[in-house]
Amino acid sequence: MSASPSAPRPYREITWEAVVFGVLIGVVMNAAITYSGLKIGFTIGGSAIAAVLGWGVLRGLLGKGTVVENNIAQTVASSVNTSNSGVIFTVPVLYLLGLYAKVDLVWLTAATMAGAILGVAFIIPTRKQMIDYERLRFPTGTAVASVLRSPGEGVRKATVLIVGVLVAMVVFFFTQSQEVFGISGYAEWGRELSFLPDGVLGADTIDVGKWILSTEWGQALWNPAFDFKWAIAPFALGAGFITGRPGLVVLAGGLLAYFVISPVALSSGWMPADVDASGAAGWALVNMNRPLGIGLLTGGAFIGLCFAFPAIGSALKSIARSGGRDGEREELPLSALLVTALGAFALLFFAAEHSVADGDPAKSALIAGVGTLWMWFAGIVIAQCTGMTDWSPISGIALLTVMVCLFLTDNQVVPAVLIGAAVCVAITECADMMQDLKTGSMVGGSPVRQQLLELAVVWIGPAVSLAVVGMLAATNYAKFGVYFGPGTDMPAPQAAALEGVINTIRGGDAPVELYGMGGLVGALLSLSGMAGLGVLVGLSMYLPLKYLLPYGLGCLIQMLFTKAKGAAWTESWCVPFAAGMIVGEGLLGILFAGMSLLSGGQL
Amino acid sequence: MKKLLADLLLVAGVVVATLSAAESRRVSKVVPLSGDLSGEVLHQPVSSALREQHPDVYVYADRTLAPGTPLDADAVAWLRGLGLTSVSVLRQPRASETLPVAGDAALGRVLAEPVILTAEPEAASAGRLIDEGFVARLEASELDVVRISVATTDGKGRREVHWDLRDASKNPSDCELVGAKLALPVTVPVRLKRGSYLDEETLARLAQSGYADVDVKIPLHFDWRRWELRWVFAFGVALTLAGVLLKRGKQSAAEVEAGAQHVGALRGELVGVRDTLAKLLPRLDHLDAAQLHEAVDPLVAGPLYRFAEGREAIRTAHGTRTYLAVMDAFARAERKVNRAWSAAVDGYPEEARDSLRAALPPLEEACAALPGSAAPPGEGLLTPDGALRVPPDVPHFHDAD
C-alpha cells in the first residue's frame, strides 16, 4: 500500500490500458474456449483468468492497475469471451444438418451481435433486484472479487488464495496430463493400484458406484443403475463451497433424477429392452429427466419472476431516480437501454426477414418480437441460476429456445437456429453481465461504467466465435471432408444434442407434455416461498451428476466450517481458498485449450 | 414440526409427481394374456428359463421370445404355457411405417433408418475418421478395397493397411475399420442419418436415388386419457400444493418473536455503521491511505457483512416494501464503502475519503427506512482513538484472524 500522494490523482477505473487488455485477452480466450468447447462440449468462464492476468499486466508490467481498473479489464474480457457458448451450442448444428450453405453469414453475425447487445441491455435493469435486493451469491463473481481484492487482503489471505489456485492446478493437471503431455494421470494410476477395481479411477472421474459394486455388500445392496461418478473438478467443489447451504437443493434435484427416476424407470421396464443399467441414466436423461427438468426450471422461473415484480419495479424506479441522486448515476438510463434494445430488435427483425422462407414482414416481426421477449425471460432465468448456484442452464434453455423458434418459423431450421443463436448469445451475456456487476459491487466499481463498456465491446465476442467456428469448419472439411461431428475429431456434442432435438421436434415427437408437467411442479415449488426452489431442482435434473456431487460436497463442507468456526471466519478464510480452486482450474483449462488450438489439435 | 411436515410433503409430492410424469414416456405397457393381443409386440425377452418359477406348469417348449416378437396365437399359447398371466408389450407396436416417396405422405416426417443416396457420390478426403456411418457408405460404394491408416499396437505411431470391404477374412486381425482413418481419398455415396427431416428437397433426392418408399418414424403421441398414472401425478401435485400451503402459513408467535429480536440486532449493526462513519468523517482528512484502510476494513468484514447476511429477517418482520427500501439504500452505501476500501488499498486516499463521505447519506436513508433505527448519531462503533468498538453480543470477526 502506498502513502498518500501530495496531489490528488483521479482514481483509475476506465483506462485505455484496461480496455485494450480486456479486449485482447477476451479475444484470445474466446478463440481458445470456442475450440475446446467444440471438442469437449462445455466451456470455461473467463472472468477469473482475466482478473489474475490483469494484475500481472496492469500492475505487474505497466505498474498502474487499481482494483476497480482491473475490474473493468475483467468485465471487458469476459464480455468478449462469454458469447462462445451461445454460438457453439447452436451454430454448428447448421453444419451437422448440412444447411450451412443456406445461411447468410452476414445476417448470422448481425443476429448474434444483436443478441449480445440485447442481452446486456435487458439484464441491466435487474441488477438492483438480483444483486442489491436478493443479493444472489454469484460464486464466480465472488471468486473474481477475491482475486481483485487479494493485494489489499494481507499476505496471509493472499497466500490462502494462491494455495487454492495451486491445489486446483495440481489436481486438475493430472486429469489432462496423459492427453496433453503424455505424463501418466489418474487413469494410469488407477490401473496400477491393485486395491482399486479396474475403471474406478478414470482420467477425470472416480466411479464410486463401480467400486461399491465390486464389494460383496455392494452387490447385495447397490442398484447398478445408480450413476455415482464423481468428477475430479476443483472448480465444482469451490463453487459449491461459496454457494453454501442453498446449493444443496441442486444436489437434491440431481439425486431425484439419477437415483430415483432413472433406476425406477429401468427396473419397472419403462425403457427399451436393449437399455441396460449402464445406459439407463443416459436414456432417462434424454427422454425423461431433461424435458422434466427444463419444464421445472421454466415453470419455477416464471413464478419467481412474478414474485420478483415488486423488486423489479422498485429497481426500475430507483434507476429512474438515480440520475438526480447525489449527482452521480448508478446505472445506464432506461431511455438509453430502450434505444439500444430497439436497435437490436430491428437487427433481429431484418435477420429474420432475410432468412425466413416466405419473407413475410408480419411473421418476421412476430419472430423478432417473441424472440426478444423470450430473450428477456430466458436471460433472467440464466442470470438467476448463475447467481444462485454458478451453474448456467444454457444447454437446456438453448434446446427450449430452438423449439420455440421452430414453432414460430413453421419448422424452418435456418431461421430458428439463427434466432436461437442470437437468443443463446444474449442469455450468456446476461449471466456474464450480472457476474461482473456482482464483482463490481464487491470491490466498489461503478455499475454504470461497467455497463457502458460491456455494451461497447460485447458485439466483438460473437464475431470472434463465428470466425473460429467457420475456420475450424473449413479446416475440418479440408482435412476430413466433414465439417463437424462423426468423421472428425471435433464432435460438437452440444450441437449434436440440438440436432437430435430438432429432428425430434420436426418429427412430431417433442415431449411437450413433460415440459408442461414439469412446469406445473416447478411453479408450485417456487410458490413455496423458498427462493428459486423450482429453478434449482429443475436445473439439477439435467446437469451431469458427476459435477453436482463435488458441488454438493463443497456446500456441505461450507456448512461444517460455518458451524465450527462461524460464518464470518469461513467467509474470510475459506472463500479465498474456494475462489482459488475456481481460478486454478480455469487458468489451467484455458492454457490447455490455447495449447490445443495453437497445435491444431495435436495436443 | 410444521416446517418438517411441510418439507416432507414437498419432497414426497415432487418425487411422486415427477416419477409419474416420467412414466408417461414409458415405452411399454403390461397387458393380460387373456385378452386380444393381435398387433401387440413383446417388449422384453421371455425365455423358457421361467419354468423354474412355475414348476407345476409343463406344457411348453424350450424357446426364447426376443423383444419385438409379434404376439400371435402360437406365442401367446407358449407364454400362457409358462404360467404367465400378463406380459409387457411395446406401447407403440410399430416404431416406423413405410410411406411412398412420391406425393405428400412422407412430407414433414423423419427417417426411421439411415438411407444411402446412391445417386449422390461424394469425395472423402484422406485423413477422414471412419465411423459406423461411413462404413455403411463404403460398403454401399463400388469399392472393393480401401487403404486405411490405423494406430500401431503400441499406440505411438500409425501404419497403413488395405481393407477388403467384401471379404473380411483377408483383413488383418489386429485392427478395425471403425476408428481408422482413410489413407487415400475415396468416392462414396451420401448417407442420410436416422432422424433426417423429409422436406420436399430431401424427398426429391430420395426419388433420384431410386427409392419408391421410405421408412419414417411414427411419433409417440401423448394421450392424457390413456395415461394410467394421471391420478398419481395429480396426487403428487396435491401433496406438493399441501406442502406449499403449510410452508406459506402464518408464523407462530415464537417465530415472530425470534424474527423481531433478529431485526433488533440488525438495526444495531446498521446504526453502528452509520454512527461510526459519522464520527469518522470529520477526521478523514487527517488519515492517510493505510489508516483509511484500517478504518474501513473492519466495517466491511464486520457489521456490513453481518447486516447483509441477516437481511431476510427484515422482510419477514416488516414486509417486502420496507425490505426493498432498506436494501436499496444499504447497497448504495455498501458499494461506496467497498470503493473506499479499494481506493485505500490502491493508494488513492482522496477517492477513499470521497467514497466514505458519499456512503453516509444512503446509510442515513437505510436507517430511516428501517423502523426503529432512525436515531441521531450516537456513540457508534468507533472508540475515541478511531478503532472499531465491538458490541458485546456480536462476535468480533477479527478475533479469529
**Owner of C-alpha cell 462469454:** A82
Of B130, B237, B330, the CB nearest to A524: B237
Interface test with B, best of A513, A536, A565 (most B CBs within 10 A): A513
The x, y and z cell numbers of residue A381, run together, are: 432465468
The x, y and z cell numbers of residue A462, run together, are: 460473437
**A&B contacts, CB < 8 Å:** 267
Mean pLDDT across A464-470: 94
Quote the pLDDT of residue B144: 92
DSSP letter at B282 equals G
Angle at A90 between CA A43 and CA A275, to 5 degrees: 80
| Residues from chain A contacting residue B401 (CB–CB below 8 Å) | 572
| Residues from chain A contacting residue B97 (CB–CB below 8 Å) | none
| Residues from chain B contacting residue A287 (CB–CB below 8 Å) | 25
Per-domain residue ranges for chain A?
16-174+297-323+333-539
Report the residue of chain B nearest A13, measured CA to CA: B343
Q: Does A272 contact B at CB distance below 8 Å?
A: yes
Q: Using the beta-carbon criterion (under 8 Å), do A3 and B24 form an inter-chain contact?
A: no
The alpha-carbon gap from B338 to the nearest alpha carbon of chain A, in Å, equals 5
Mean pLDDT across A272-295: 91
Quote the pLDDT of residue B157: 72
* CA-based torsion, A575, A579, A580, A581: positive or negative: positive
Q: Using the beta-carbon criterion (under 8 Å), do A1 and B293 form an inter-chain contact?
A: yes
Quote the pLDDT of residue A452: 93
| B295 beta partners | none
Mean pLDDT across A535-548: 88
B146: three-class secondary structure by DSSP: strand
* Alpha carbons A469 and A502: distance in angstroms, whole number: 20
CA B273, distance to chain mean position in Å, is 42
Q: Using the beta-carbon criterion (under 8 Å), do B197 and A132 form an inter-chain contact?
A: no
Residues of A (135-194) whose Cβ lies below 8 Å from B:
135, 148-149, 151-152
| Residues from chain A contacting residue B17 (CB–CB below 8 Å) | 517, 520-521
Residues 6+ apart with CB under 8 A from B205: B117, B119, B120
Please name the helix (run of DSSP H) or strand (run of DSSP E) that holds residue B215, with its range, or none: strand B213-217
The x, y and z cell numbers of residue A300, run together, are: 419455477
Say if residues A476 and A490 touch (Cβ distance below 8 Å).
yes
| Residues from chain A contacting residue B24 (CB–CB below 8 Å) | 513-514, 517
Of B219, B221, B342, the CB nearest to A67: B342
Three-state SS letters, A422-434: HHHHHHHHHHHHH
Residues 6+ apart with CB under 8 A from A366: A408
The residue ranking higher by pLDDT, B388 or A585, is: A585
Interface test with A, best of B25, B42, B197, B309 (most A CBs within 10 A): B25
pLDDT(A155) > 70: yes
Q: Using the beta-carbon criterion (under 8 Å), do A444 and B339 form an inter-chain contact?
A: yes
Quote the pLDDT of residue A169: 93
Of B13, B309, B397, the CB nearest to A572: B397
* Alpha carbons A497 and B195: distance in angstroms, whole number: 12
The interface pTM score, or ipTM, of the predicted complex is: 0.86
Highest mean pLDDT among A256-260, A303-307, B381-385: A256-260
Q: Does A528 contact B at CB distance below 8 Å?
A: yes
Of A444, A482, A565, the CB nearest to B400: A565
Report the residue of chain A nearest B13, measured CA to CA: A521
Say if residues A246 and A137 touch (Cβ distance below 8 Å).
yes
* Alpha carbons A480 and A474: distance in angstroms, whole number: 10
Report the residue of chain A nearest B127, measured CA to CA: A480
* Alpha carbons B298 and B320: distance in angstroms, whole number: 29
Report the residue of chain A nearest B287, measured CA to CA: A4
Quote the pLDDT of residue A3: 45
Residues 6+ apart with CB under 8 A from B49: none
Ramachandran angles phi, psi of B120, nearest 5°? -120, 80
Say if residues B285 and B291 touch (Cβ distance below 8 Å).
no
Strands B28-32 and B86-90: antiparallel
Q: Using the beta-carbon criterion (under 8 Å), do A512 and B222 form an inter-chain contact?
A: yes
CB neighbours (10 Å) of residue A259?
A: 17
Quote the pLDDT of residue B400: 31
Report the residue of chain A nearest B155, measured CA to CA: A182
| B190 beta partners | B117
> Percent helix, strand, coil in chain A (nearest 5)?
75, 0, 25
Of A326, A328, A507, the CB nearest to B109: A507
* Alpha carbons B227 and B231: distance in angstroms, whole number: 9
Quote the pLDDT of residue A356: 79
The alpha-carbon gap from A346 to the nearest alpha carbon of chain B, in Å, equals 30
Q: Using the beta-carbon criterion (under 8 Å), do A508 and B222 form an inter-chain contact?
A: no
The residue ranking higher by pLDDT, A424 or A37, is: A424
Give the amino acid at A85.
S
Of B6, B21, B217, the CB nearest to A507: B217
| Residues from chain A contacting residue B28 (CB–CB below 8 Å) | 269-270
The alpha-carbon gap from B58 to the nearest alpha carbon of chain A, in Å, equals 27
Q: Indicate the pLDDT class of residue A329, thresholds 50, 70 and 90.
A: confident
The x, y and z cell numbers of residue B126, run together, are: 484422406
| Residues from chain B contacting residue A506 (CB–CB below 8 Å) | 108, 110, 197
Across the 401 residues of chain B, what is the mean pLDDT of every consecutive 10-residue run? 88 96 92 86 81 56 82 87 86 89 90 93 87 91 92 74 89 86 92 89 94 91 87 96 87 73 87 90 90 90 89 88 93 95 94 94 92 56 49 36 30
Quote the pLDDT of residue A223: 86
* Alpha carbons B130 and A226: distance in angstroms, whole number: 33
Ramachandran angles phi, psi of A531, nearest 5°? -55, 125
Q: Using the beta-carbon criterion (under 8 Å), do A487 and B134 form an inter-chain contact?
A: yes
| B98 beta partners | B215
Interface test with A, best of B5, B14, B269, B306 (most A CBs within 10 A): B14
B247: three-class secondary structure by DSSP: helix
Q: Using the beta-carbon criterion (under 8 Å), do B24 and A517 form an inter-chain contact?
A: yes
Quote the pLDDT of residue A556: 94
pTM: 0.84
Give me the percent of chain A exceeding a pLDDT of 70: 97
* Alpha carbons A320 and A314: distance in angstroms, whole number: 10
pLDDT(A519) > 50: yes
The residue ranking higher by pLDDT, A136 or A311, is: A136
Residues 6+ apart with CB under 8 A from B117: B189, B190, B191, B192, B205, B206, B208, B209
| Residues from chain B contacting residue A3 (CB–CB below 8 Å) | 288-290, 347
Report the residue of chain B nearest A261, measured CA to CA: B19
Residues 6+ apart with CB under 8 A from B135: B177, B178
If 0-12 CB within 10 Å is exposed, 13-18 middle and 19+ buried, where does residue B70 land?
Answer: middle
Q: Give chain A's length.
A: 603
